[in-house]
Structure formats: C-alpha cells, structure tokens
Chains A and B, each alone.
Chain A
Amino acid sequence: MTQADTSRDATGGTLEASGAPGCSAESTHVAGPHAERLENLYPGTPATVDREQGLVLYRDMVLGRRFEDKCAEMYYRGKMFGFVHLYNGQEAVSTGVIKAMKAQHDWFCSTYRDHVHALSCGVPAREVMSELFGKETGCSKGRGGSMHLFSREHHLLGGYAFIGEGIPVALGAAFTSRYKRDALGDASSDSVTAAFFGDGTCNIGQFYECLNMAALWKLPILFVVENNKWAIGMDHNRATSDPEIWRKAAAFGIPGEEVDGMDVLAVRAAAQRAIERARSGEGPTLLECLTYRYRGHSLADPDELRAQAEKEFWAQRDPIKRLAVHLTEHNLASGDELKAIDREIDAEVADAVEFALAAPEPSGEELTRYIWAED
C-alpha cells in the first residue's frame, strides 16, 4: 500500500474488487487488502450456541484478553523477561477452535504466541503466569518461558519458537491417532489435532510438506492459520504470491476455508465442520482465519509500521464485544451477567499473578534435571 492508496477511500466502505474478491495487494480499501478481504468474506452460517456454551466462549475469550493485558503490565513492571508475544485481538481463533474440540482428548500445538492457546486448552492461569515468571510452579517448571508452554495433562504439545516447526510435531500427534486406530486396532482412537500458526509461517516448507503428508495419509488434523496480516514487520501481501492462504489447500486436494477470525461463532462453525471430517477419517482441513493482533509483534516491538486506519478497522470488529452483543441480543445472557464474568476473570488473573509472585524459583540443584527421560 502506498500513501496514495490509503487516501483514496476515506469512507471505509466496501469496494468492488475485480477478479478474486478482496485479495489484491493493490487494494484501495482505506484499511488495506486484509480488511477488504474480511469485508468481502461470504458470511457462512455461524455456530449456534446455547447459554452455557455461549458463556464458555465468552469466559475463555475474556480470560485470554485480560491475561494478556496483565502480561503487558507485568512485563513493563519488570516481572517478566524475554520475548513476550501477546494475542490480543485474535481470541476468537483460539476459543473458536479449541472449545469446539475435546479437552484432554484432542491435541493442540502452538507457537511462541501461545499463552491464550494454553488457557483455552485448560492450563490453569496460575501455571501459565508462573511459567512467565520463570517459577517452579509453571507449566514447564520455569524452564520454558513464554514461548515454550507445555502441558501433557492438557494435551498441549507445546509452544514452538521457530517458525513452522510445530506443524510437523502436530502432524505426529495426528499420525499417532491414526496409528492407534489402524495399526493397533484401537477403535476408540479418534483424537484430532489442531496446529495453530501465522500467515508468515505459510511461506515455510514445513507448511507445504505437512499439508502433503496429512492429505496423503488422511490424518485427523486442523491446520489453523491465524492470518493477522503481519509477520513482525513483513506485510503478508509482500511475502506471498497468493495472499489467500486457504486456496493453497486445493493443491493438496483437501478442503480449505476462509473464516472471519473476528467472529468466534464463525470460527467455531468452521472448526466443527473440520473436526467432524477429521474424526470420521476424512482427513485434514486448512482453515484461514482472518484476524489481527492489536499490539505489536512482541512487547519489545515499537509497532511503527502499521497504519492507524488499519488498526481502527480491526478494533471495530472486536471479537469479545461481538460475542457480548450476540449473547445479549439473543437473550442468552444479560449485560450485567457478562460484567460479573469480567470481574470474575479479573479476580482469576489477579490470583494468578499473586500465586506466581509468591511461587518458588526452581532450585539451582535441579538445573540439569529433565534432560533425560529417567530424571
């Protein structure tokens, strides 16, 4: 996008796109081509939720948001170190996918932007916060840190800090699921694996290698792309030949879907379709969720590249507010009830901080523990 492009359409209205809808890097949309794609997205049928399910989703997204806000606060107060990548704005993806799956049965794989995936998987906020503080009570015993959250108990295969490397690991979990069913004869083996990763990661070989293998062996896996338009400072449209990632599925003969990643019910519906296919042995799905991160790439990023109009466009489509409107409009919950949940979450996050602050440091005597399986 050039400066001239940004000034052309100040109304933020929908523009007619020529050719493939809304994918052109020469978008004239005030908030850029990524926003244009979202606006032109064909709205699929969103998931229907009852009160209980709706509140689970709401609670999970608010937890993700408030937890990350607290992380920023703690980072600036010097309680947490290293590279810390926050998930604000993308909550509908984690919640929409993971809460449609079976906890402690299905498997989940994340990246360095993994706090909220861990929370959605059910890893207690206390354990995640402890890990960020480097404490012994952390889910990785203080050895992993922000980018390496693991929980075998909650089937979190881990946060992987190198681009793309989590995808093959997730593929391995999906392979195990099929192996148990078909090689070990365990008919009850029907776990599905979800691999989360970003738009920039779709330019690395492992992405394509794993789409190929998953398709070849019909592995029960969801490739969930969190397309937030940016890979640190690299605009998605400058990094890839066809910005519509979901279309790449066709080359492997598997279903690909473009999803409104700011709408948890849309993500949930797409995830449910993909999970259903995976569980019944029909193989993988590529979901491209159009989303946006509200904050810089990490807490160390001054975030100077992204246009204000772009940020505003996505902020107006906040997934939490959107679900709140849905729940109240459909009389599934009242505004007061949601506010009460917000307060509960604040208390939970405050408790996590308190717990983590008071928690013990790992003992220096155990510095070399956990290298070997026996130790």
Chain B
Amino acid sequence: MAETLLFNALREAIDEEMARDPHVCVMGEDVGHYGGSYKVTKDLYEKYGELRVLDTPIAENSFTGMAVGAAMTGLRPIVEGMNMGFLLLAFNQISNNMGMLRYTSGGNYTIPAVVRGPGGVGRQLGAEHSQRLEAYFHAVPGIKIVAVSTPTNAKGLMKAAIRDDNPVLFFEHVLLYNLSEELPEGDYICALDQAEVVREGTDITILTYSRMRHHCLKAVQSLEAEGVDVELIDLISLKPFDMETIRASIRKTHKVLIVEECMKTGGIGAELMALITEQCFDDLDARPVRLSSQDIPTPYNGTLENLTIIQPHQIVEAARALKAGVI
C-alpha cells in the first residue's frame, strides 16, 4: 500500500468526517480556495462548498468566537490556526468561551469544536512563528489538548477530536507535515486520552510528544547500541495526561526522563514532573530529569536556534547518566 504524508492523513480524516457528518465544517484563514497554509484542507471546499469550508477574514478572536457560537447551536466546527501562534489573539475565546462556558452555564451548552494547526519550532521562522502554545493553554480548564506526531496518529486522533463533544486543542508540528507512512486501513480512530508506548524497555522511561518523539527515536538507536533499554512513551494527550500508562512504565523502570520542545518554565514537563512526584515518588530510583527548550524567544540564527531546543545527543547523554545513576 502507498504511504501517506502527514498533512494528507489529516486531510483524509477531515474529509471522511465531513462526509460522515454534515454538521462538521472548517473555518479559518485560507482554508478554502488556498487549501490551508499546509494544505490540510486542499480542495475540500470544492467538494463541500464554501460554507462548510469557510475562508474567514484575518480576525482570530472573532472567527474562533464564531466557532464557539456555531458549536453551541449544533455544528461541529474545526478552526484552523494558520499558525498556532496566531491563536494568542483568540486566547480569550479558547479559555473563557471554549474552556469555561460549559461549566459556567451549568451544563446548558456543549462545545464540540476542534482548534488545530501547526505549532512548534520550525527552521528559522523567528520567535513569533516558533511558539509552543500547549504550555500557555495548559491551565485552561475544560479543554483537551493533544499533540500528533505520525501520519497514523494524526489521522486517528483528528477523527476522534472531531467526534468528541468537548473542545479539543489539536497541535500539529510545522516540521512533521511531510512525514510519510502506510496508514491502517478503514475507519480507525485513536483515543484522545491515551499515550502511545512507542518502544518497550526496562531501564528508563522517556516521556515526550510531538516532534521530540523523533529526536528521542534517534537517541534510542544509539542508546540501544550502548545497552540502554529505553521505554519510549509519546504522551499524545497533553491534557489530561495518561497517568495510568506513565505510572505503569515508571513502576517498571524506576527512572524517568522528560523531553519537550516547550520552554522549561511553566512547561508541559513542569506539570508532568509535579504529577510524577506526587504519584510515583516511591517508585523512583532517581530524581526525574527534564530536557526542555531554553527560556528565551526562539532566535532566528540557525546555530542559536539549534542550541535553543533539545538535540538527540543531549537525550543520549541524559539517558546514559540517568541509567548510570550519575544524575
């Protein structure tokens, strides 16, 4: 069977869900005629019409708010952030409206909406286009947050997010759209709240997500050669964390390394570490270790940019030290 690129896997998911349920619609900047900035909705407007694949003016807070109102009254909108960073303008709609409204309304309304788009540090895109908003949005109650990392989970998670009755923040990564792999056949979905055990191992647990999964895989190859047996877990769900899977792994390895692309302060790893300390303290043989991006705006210069985010060799070193008990 032919391989599918990640952006096409997402497109397939949206296409299939739009065909399955006429209430599913897409809105955002350049999602229609232009096909989306990363071609995730290419040609869908021709198939479903301009109302169902709605090109909006550049007005993030208002079109995101419009999606909230549409979701409250029966539609299932997918909002594309042309770049997830732009959704800072819609922070109010995502937190006050999507996140809190069901609660403040005492259950009057549900908001089945997906907010998706490219996040993460790309190649020299500059600070504003290299953001990791998952950490900023992490404290918002009432939203689910997922990060996809392969064509297979991208498709399965997108379908699950669309079918979910809660608002889902759906993080893709600018550098992963061209990953390709053979997709499972038929109509499959991946659970939104389940971590993926990418590789089983017994020495240390590595927890990661999004593009860093691939950095970790590279590291795991060299670690394997050195005899370090890593259990690699892709978190997938950043909110809530799949603590069951995480606990089970730490019970086995007693050592945990967190690898993330977001900044260290107030990051995903910070919360994860707190939970691990609370829930797995007695199972730990060493303090949990965290590898995060520097707490700085992502620099444009390529060398500096590489120094800002974690590289595979740093993962190897940290894992080696953790196993050897010298960390």
Q: List residues of A whose CB falls within 8 A of some B CB.
A: 107, 109, 138-144, 148, 150-152, 157-158, 160, 162, 165, 167-180, 182-184, 205-206, 209-210, 212-213, 216, 369-374
| B186 CB–A CB distance under 8 Å | no
Q: What residue in chain A is nearest B142 (Cβ atoms)?
A: A371
Establish whether residues B69 and A169, one from each chain, have CB atoms under 8 Å apart when the complex forms. Answer: yes
Establish whether residues B65 and A167, one from each chain, have CB atoms under 8 Å apart when the complex forms. Answer: yes
| B73 CB–A CB distance under 8 Å | yes
Establish whether residues A179 and B70, one from each chain, have CB atoms under 8 Å apart when the complex forms. Answer: yes
Establish whether residues A141 and B106, one from each chain, have CB atoms under 8 Å apart when the complex forms. Answer: yes
Known pairs A173-B69, A369-B107; A168 contacts B102 (CB<8 A)? no
On chain A, the residues within 8 Å of B97 by CB distance are: 160, 165, 169
Establish whether residues B103 and A168, one from each chain, have CB atoms under 8 Å apart when the complex forms. Answer: no
Establish whether residues A213 and B56, one from each chain, have CB atoms under 8 Å apart when the complex forms. Answer: yes
| B222 CB–A CB distance under 8 Å | no
Establish whether residues B110 and A373, one from each chain, have CB atoms under 8 Å apart when the complex forms. Answer: yes
Residue in A152, A172, A209 whose beta carbon sits within 8 Å of that of B68 in the complex: A172
| B301 CB–A CB distance under 8 Å | no
- Sort chain B's interface into a size bin: 35 or more
Within 67-120 of B, Cβ neighbours of A (below 8 Å) are at 67-75, 92-93, 96-97, 101-110, 112
Bound complex: CA of A172 vs CA of B71, how far in Å? 8
On chain B, the residues within 8 Å of A369 by CB distance are: 107
Show 28 residue pairs from A and B whose CB-CB distance is below 8 angstroms, ordered by the A residue: A144-B106, A148-B104, A150-B106, A151-B108, A152-B109, A158-B105, A158-B108, A165-B65, A165-B93, A169-B65, A169-B69, A171-B65, A171-B66, A172-B65, A172-B73, A174-B69, A176-B70, A180-B74, A184-B22, A205-B59, A205-B61, A205-B62, A210-B66, A212-B59, A370-B103, A371-B141, A372-B166, A373-B102
Q: What residue in chain A is nearest B27 (Cβ atoms)?
A: A175
Residue in A151, A170, A174, A209 whose beta carbon sits within 8 Å of that of B61 in the complex: A209
On chain A, the residues within 8 Å of B48 by CB distance are: 183
| B25 CB–A CB distance under 8 Å | yes
Establish whether residues B106 and A140, one from each chain, have CB atoms under 8 Å apart when the complex forms. Answer: yes
Bound complex: CA of A373 vs CA of B168, how far in Å? 12
On chain A, the residues within 8 Å of B164 by CB distance are: 373
Establish whether residues B66 and A165, one from each chain, have CB atoms under 8 Å apart when the complex forms. Answer: no
On chain B, the residues within 8 Å of A372 by CB distance are: 102, 142, 166
Known pairs A206-B62, A212-B57, A213-B66; A142 contacts B106 (CB<8 A)? yes
Q: What residue in chain A is nearest B67 (Cβ atoms)?
A: A172
Q: Which among B63, B103, B164 has the greatest number of chain A C-beta atoms within 10 A?
A: B103
Establish whether residues A162 and B92, one from each chain, have CB atoms under 8 Å apart when the complex forms. Answer: yes
Establish whether residues B142 and A150, one from each chain, have CB atoms under 8 Å apart when the complex forms. Answer: no
Establish whether residues B69 and A150, one from each chain, have CB atoms under 8 Å apart when the complex forms. Answer: no
| B64 CB–A CB distance under 8 Å | yes
Establish whether residues A141 and B62, one from each chain, have CB atoms under 8 Å apart when the complex forms. Answer: no
Known pairs A205-B61, A206-B61; A168 contacts B69 (CB<8 A)? yes
Residue in B25, B63, B65, B108 whose beta carbon sits within 8 Å of that of A179 in the complex: B25
Establish whether residues B69 and A175, one from each chain, have CB atoms under 8 Å apart when the complex forms. Answer: yes
Establish whether residues B108 and A140, one from each chain, have CB atoms under 8 Å apart when the complex forms. Answer: yes
| B173 CB–A CB distance under 8 Å | no
On chain A, the residues within 8 Å of B101 by CB distance are: 158
> Nearest Cβ distance between residue B69 and chain A, in whole angstroms?
2
Q: Which among B68, B141, B142 has the greatest number of chain A C-beta atoms within 10 A?
A: B68
Bound complex: CA of A147 vs CA of B66, how far in Å? 20
Interface pairs A-B: 5 shortest CB-CB: A172-B69, A168-B65, A141-B106, A373-B165, A150-B105
> Nearest Cβ distance between residue A133 and chain B, in whole angstroms?
14
> Nearest Cβ distance between residue B235 and chain A, in whole angstroms?
19
Q: Which among B25, B59, B72, B108 has the greatest number of chain A C-beta atoms within 10 A?
A: B108
On chain B, the residues within 8 Å of A180 by CB distance are: 74
| B175 CB–A CB distance under 8 Å | no
On chain B, the residues within 8 Å of A206 by CB distance are: 61-62, 65
> Nearest Cβ distance between residue A191 and chain B, in whole angstroms?
8
On chain B, the residues within 8 Å of A143 by CB distance are: 103-106
Q: Which among B62, B107, B165 has the greatest number of chain A C-beta atoms within 10 A?
A: B62
Bound complex: CA of A170 vs CA of B71, how far in Å? 11
Q: Which among A138, A148, A176 has the greatest number of chain B C-beta atoms within 10 A?
A: A176
> Nearest Cβ distance between residue B48 and chain A, in whole angstroms?
8
Establish whether residues A172 and B105, one from each chain, have CB atoms under 8 Å apart when the complex forms. Answer: no
On chain B, the residues within 8 Å of A209 by CB distance are: 57, 59, 61-63
> Nearest Cβ distance between residue A129 and chain B, in whole angstroms?
15
Known pairs A176-B70, A206-B65; A370 contacts B107 (CB<8 A)? yes
Establish whether residues A210 and B62, one from each chain, have CB atoms under 8 Å apart when the complex forms. Answer: yes
On chain A, the residues within 8 Å of B66 by CB distance are: 168-169, 171-172, 175, 210, 213
Bound complex: CA of A333 vs CA of B280, how far in Å? 75
